[in-house]
Chains A and B, each alone.
Chain A
């Protein structure tokens, strides 16, 4: 099968449709609006639903309802809109509903601007909403992965009855690249827990309330066990030219593309450098980072992010003082250049 040139944001909806998702509820926001626009065009053509909700809050609650019926469903937004969705995300995680949420990050805080940033890392990875929950988080760095990871997100969401998030940024959303689309998924997992409005499912309950502390603790323990299972099975990480690397760069999403070029150029100058790119931000690739923190030949580990240094905390937790960890960041919608990354390493 050959490829078509397509925007990341549009690739998401094609991937979602091929993954059997027919339900989109969303609210416009730059730079994520193409996702809703594309869904509004294609979902009705495959017998699905597109609805522009009255607000981000309504959209995430429509998702809660649709996911409760057992269908594959999704929403998409950008940072300020994701902030608004956080209460609903907590309910969805609490009620263990599978669905896919796309966050095309932009710069903040507040209204910020529409340029790319990665400053939703903490709100997505560490919670954002209330309670002891985790999301499954995939961070694509290409248009191809926007499609592939959206499909993967639906699979993981169903497998673990957990919301999954695609955490991308404005550049990956707006960029066009060749994408190869697979055949549509034709078989879907059973969801015996869903409220399907049938005789067989009439005792089912979608719920996140439990007044008894002992029972709610039990539910929380169950959730933590599930997250541990996800950590065991689902870590995705790319290692690029790390075998003999003395210097390790760490970055996710669009930053990893910049790091890749920086690694290639530094290698031309004889610098032994490689990249670790966390693809799943939860589960975080702790073991892989741990491996390099332990390696004698590794001199230092350098995190590059488009925020105030958020993922670096997770890297430091793993490294735990074994190697120096440095940080290079740009904020406000600025993108680190290859040259800046090279200069940071050469310093």
Chain B
């Protein structure tokens, strides 16, 4: 125990002297009802935070429930969160600020009902935070409706004849449920009934906080706590009801504890220098590489290319390489893959635009060049090609010729040629060779250099170059 060792008579220094955030004039008393357990639990937590000397670095999360106003009382950073979302809010906070101590303080409706998945997942990730779960078997703040922990037969404003198994199912035992998970370090259920049990609760509270300070991970303390107002009982009868009824279904005790054997988890973070950010982010321009070949002057062009075929034919990558090389020649470019309803049955196509002026729509409705690798692709796009445009198609794979007479039709057995050179996968490079020869605005030297760097796979380079040359020579004829 460190400084400020508290005695039972002291007010923990983490509590405000007057509760200025509270509405009304009674700024010295809490908003909790007589006989409610929250006050005791607040006090135990506050004393632990002070004793461990972490009050300044504590962030207290209070979601919807009676304890949503915990920030009236605790003088540390406070975050009030949406119903059930504390474990998520705490996760975000702790990840962003790992040196903090995060206390999540949740009620049963909040934690076990609306936020059920959030607590389960945070526990399962082993978030290094401490969760206090107040189980009072009712929705206190909204006026006594059924909670996921309401007992069978227990009346509430939404179970006026008592909770039934048939209609509402059984009460949730969260401590037992979470204990089945691998990640949590410590889970215990305690009850605020008598000095002996309050002392046990005090011990549990401290352990759960200490685990976080020691970076051991997720700790969870479920607290059976009286709600005389919700239960319509006197404070005295309420305490008796916890012992005689509630504890029968929710037995107190340690459900899981690996605090001793668990090694602290310290996240190490490397932060690069600002000057290295571009490198770290792989921000690299083709033309910033050494030995860029001479780039020809830009011409007045407006190429709209549609490349279409099946997935695996290199359709998208041909478009990508073409757009990249166009960009390297200082043209405006865009590349748009087939996307949405077009993507059916393995077909793939992309739209590439290359222009000396700003590109409007990136969608190619009417290609100046269609490169087709399959029959359905040819049939689908043939009629869209602008008069005087080009249709380059793989005549080894497509057994019909385009019907259009007003376009320039170039059949080439690209896949067959690529296969002879070593792999059908280079068919797209054969087609690139044909396209570049046909249109003539791209530098051959730059294309070869560019492909090497864009594809960046040494073992394919020779094949790609051979395929490109084959296409280029074909285009010459």
A residues touching B (Cβ–Cβ < 8 Å)? 1-5, 14, 17-18, 23, 25, 31, 42, 45-49, 51, 53-55, 57-59, 61-69, 71, 73, 87-88, 91, 95, 113-116, 170-171, 174-178, 181, 183-184, 186, 195-199, 201-209, 211-212, 257-264, 333, 335, 337-339
Contact = CB atoms under 8 A, between A and B. Distances in A.
A170 B277 contact: no
Given A4-B285, A51-B91, A176 B77 contact: no
A64 B362 contact: no
B92 A176 contact: no
A333 B58 CA distance: 48
B333 A61 contact: no
Interface string B72-114: 0001111111100100111111111101110000000000000
17 contacts: A23-B92, A42-B281, A45-B270, A46-B271, A59-B88, A61-B85, A62-B91, A66-B92, A68-B79, A69-B97, A115-B340, A174-B336, A176-B336, A201-B77, A257-B360, A261-B361, A335-B363
Chief secondary structure at chain A's binding surface: mixed
B361 A257 contact: yes
Given A17-B281, A258-B361, 13 more contacts: A4-B285, A23-B92, A25-B91, A58-B118, A58-B121, A61-B89, A65-B93, A66-B93, A69-B93, A71-B97, A195-B78, A196-B77, A264-B360
Counting chain A CB atoms within 10 Å of each CB, the highest count among B59, B75, B270, B271 belongs to B59
A329 to B, nearest CB: 16
A88 B88 CA distance: 11
A337 B95 CA distance: 46
B360 A206 contact: no
Counting chain A CB atoms within 10 Å of each CB, the highest count among B68, B76, B120 belongs to B76
A65 B90 contact: yes
B159 interface: no
B265 to A, nearest CB: 14
Interface in B111-131: 117-118, 120-121
Contacts of B238: none
Given A49-B96, A114-B340, A174-B339, A260 B361 contact: yes
Interface string B260-283: 000000000111101001101101
A65 B340 contact: no
Nearest to B94: A65
A252 B193 CA distance: 63
Top 10 A-B pairs ranked by shortest CB distance? A115-B340, A65-B92, A62-B92, A261-B360, A195-B77, A197-B100, A47-B271, A65-B93, A260-B360, A61-B88
A64 B23 contact: no
B261 to A, nearest CB: 26
B71 interface: yes
A171 to B, nearest CB: 7
Counting chain A CB atoms within 10 Å of each CB, the highest count among B75, B93, B99 belongs to B93
A177 B285 contact: no
Counting chain B CB atoms within 10 Å of each CB, the highest count among A4, A183, A204 belongs to A4
Chief secondary structure at chain B's binding surface: mixed
A230 B68 CA distance: 32
B100 A53 contact: no
Interface in B148-162: none
A171 B339 contact: yes
A186 B88 contact: no
Contacts of B57: 197-198
Contacts of A88: 82, 85
Contacts of B339: 31, 114-116, 170-171, 174
B393 interface: no
Contacts of A335: 363
Contacts of B285: 1-4
A53 B320 CA distance: 32
Nearest to A25: B92
Nearest to A204: B77
B10 interface: no
B271 A207 contact: no
A48 to B, nearest CB: 8
Interface in B377-397: none
Contact of B89 (A2, A62, A209): A62
B113 to A, nearest CB: 14
Nearest to B327: A178
A69 B99 CA distance: 11
B287 interface: yes
